[in-house]
Amino acid sequence: MAKIIYGVAGEGFGHSSRSHLIGQRLLDAGHDVMFVGSKKSLVYLKQYFPERVREIFGLSFAYINGRIDKSETLKRNLLNLPEGNKQNDELFWSLKGKVNELHRIGDCASPRDMLQAIREGYEIGSEI
């Protein structure tokens, strides 16, 4: 069976709840799954897979008076992006060579539009 790193967006619970269900199906099918996430997804997934979740850097929204502040969101993410990407790359390279196959898909490979990321994930998922 495959060893899978399942990265989950950190804002909101839609991605987290879907990854919880899909991840459980992958585990039930005999795959070895590690979840990586940030912020809310990290907290959510640790409830269900405490030994299988690792923290990574993820972009986030800045809220002021209960509303998303676009300028502050952009500023915070741009300031944290270089170090955050470095940490995420270190995780990937620390695993490279320890498993037969290691794939980066979606935005962790490179920023792209949603349909490209979904197509790439589907193609690699179909192969394994």
Q: What is the pLDDT of residue 109?
A: 64
The DSSP secondary structure of 69-102, one letter per residue, reads -HHHHHHHHHHHHHHHHHHHHHHHHHHTTTSS--
* pLDDT at position 52 over 90: yes
Q: What is the pLDDT of residue 107?
A: 59
- Residue 114 is given by DSSP the state H
Tell me what the pLDDT averaged over the chain comes to: 84
Q: What is the pLDDT of residue 44?
A: 93
Tell me, yes or no, if the pTM score tops 0.75: no
Between CA 40 and CA 47 the distance in angstroms is: 11
Mean pLDDT of 105-125: 72
Q: What is the pLDDT of residues 62-78, one digit of tens each?
A: 999 999 999 999 999 89
The structural domains of the chain, with segments of one domain joined by +, span 3-127
Q: Are 45 and 16 in contact, with CB atoms under 8 Å apart?
A: yes
116 versus 52: the higher-pLDDT residue is: 52
pLDDT band at 106 (very low <50, low <70, confident <90, very high): low
> Given the structure tokens 């299988």, which residue do they identify?
52
Q: What is the pLDDT of residues 82-103, one digit of tens each?
A: 888 888 888 888 888 887 777 7
